[in-house]
Amino acid sequence: MEKIKVCLIGCGRAGMIHARSYAGNVKRAELIALCDPFEENLRLAREEIEVPCIYTDYREALKNSEIDAVVVVTPTKFHHDIVIAAAQAGKHVFCEKPMAESPRECDEMIEACRANGVKLQVGFMRRFDKNFRRGKELIDSGIIGQVTSLRSNTHGPSEPKEWMFDVRSSYGPIGEVNSHDFDTLRWYAGSEVKSLYAAGRNFRSPEMAEKYPEYYDTCQTILEFENGIIGTISGAQYVKYGYDSRAEILGTDGIIKVGTQHSDAVELSVSEQKNISDSVVSWKNLFADAYVAEANAFVDCILCGEEPAVTGHDGKMALLLVNAGLKSILEKRPVQISEMEE
């Protein structure tokens, strides 16, 4: 059986999620190289996953003719240069979100992959989660009639790190967590967004308000799609109660609810007339199978010559919507998406 030989570029926390997927879970691929500029990251990665090749410079890795594809999981500011160099070296590319730092960079990455005849897939793993995929199947079946409105939320439990409080560089929750929601709702709506309005406020870190007056940990976004569907997105950081990712699709003839806050199907009822169940701890737990399915889909699209399930355009549009959302929050006004494309 033909196998795609893969190099992971970026061996940090998120990178190792992908490394574990490729280490035995993707039958038509073989992870043969690890690349990270920090030797300690490389050492720890290689202790866990044995590979024949390691590199501290991605440019050296791209010279390896055995490598067919790269998985790019570096800080966002490096995505543009790495993806273009990989495309020019004839390597297929999987790039984690956010795709780049600007829509212009996304266009350049898309064009480089097109010009060099390589695949480009962007990392929105919810499209490969069995529950979110089932939601899309039910929408397409027409069972709930015409879709009228969509709702999606991502609430994360992690305490913000210092760099996150500067929302002009970190974007805050609308970028950190809601980029997945933007992609999910575009996918479910089958339409681009026409306009949006977002509002945000800092509730959980009031001690940072003087130093970072623009910081917000909670936001709500209302979207109007070009096909008339209305969408709402809820985002929050440092919620403390667990990781929470769900969606809802309302139609003229019914409703679809996707996801649950419960970590399993066990619920405890006690004499105090309380129902208790465990909460999802992390996105790493909730989407473990989706990451494997995402990797398999990337390899399959290379071997079968098909379009990736999540394209460079999808990555660009998610970034554009994040930028529009932050603009709306900071300027306290609705934003037409056409403004962002000028």
Amino acid, single-letter form, for residue 127 = R
pLDDT of residue 1: 55
Q: Are residues 108 and 212 both part of a single domain?
A: no
Q: Residue 76: helix, strand or coil by DSSP?
A: helix
Question: Can you tell me the distance from the alpha carbon of 150 to that of 129, in angstroms, rounded to the nearest whole number?
Answer: 18
Q: Are residues 154 and 205 both part of a single domain?
A: yes
Q: Are residues 56 and 202 both part of a single domain?
A: no
Rg of the chain over Cα atoms, rounded to whole angstroms, equals: 20
pLDDT of residue 263: 87
Inside any domain, residue 214: yes
Inside any domain, residue 153: yes
- The answer to whether 29 and 55 have CB atoms below 8 angstroms apart is no
pLDDT of residue 296: 97
Q: Which of 234, 216, 99 is nearest to 168 (CA)?
A: 216
Question: What is the CATH classification number for the domain harbouring 81?
Answer: 3.40.50.720
- What are the tens digits of pLDDT across the range 270-283? 788 888 889 998 98
pLDDT of residue 214: 98
- What are the tens digits of pLDDT across the range 7-21? 999 999 999 999 999
Inside any domain, residue 307: no
Q: Are residues 108 and 198 both part of a single domain?
A: no
pLDDT of residue 221: 98
Question: What is the CATH classification number for the domain harbouring 273?
Answer: 3.30.360.10
Inside any domain, residue 292: no
Segments forming the whole domain that contains residue 242: 127-284+318-340
Inside any domain, residue 302: no
Mean pLDDT of the chain: 96
- Tell me the two tokens of residue 156: 């994360």
Q: Are residues 149 and 248 both part of a single domain?
A: yes
Inside any domain, residue 306: no
Q: Are residues 91 and 222 both part of a single domain?
A: no
Of the three residues 101, 118, 135, the one that is the final residue of a domain is: 118
Q: Are residues 218 and 330 both part of a single domain?
A: yes
Q: Tell whether the model's pLDDT for residue 196 goes beyond 90.
A: yes
Inside any domain, residue 17: yes
Does the pTM surpass 0.85? The reply is: yes
Q: Are residues 114 and 131 both part of a single domain?
A: no
Lowest-confidence pick of 106-110, 171-175, 277-281, 319-323: 277-281
Q: Are residues 67 and 166 both part of a single domain?
A: no
Q: Are residues 240 and 325 both part of a single domain?
A: yes
pLDDT of residue 265: 75
- What are the tens digits of pLDDT across the range 94-103? 999 999 999 9
Inside any domain, residue 297: no
Q: Tell whether the model's pLDDT for residue 285 goes beyond 90.
A: no
Q: Are residues 182 and 151 both part of a single domain?
A: yes
Q: Are residues 63 and 163 both part of a single domain?
A: no
- pLDDT band per the 50, 70, 90 thresholds, residue 342: low
Q: Tell whether the model's pLDDT for residue 176 goes beyond 80.
A: yes
Domain count, the chain: 2
Distances (CA, A) of 31 to 22, 34, 92, 93, 252: 6, 8, 14, 14, 47
- pLDDT band per the 50, 70, 90 thresholds, residue 32: very high
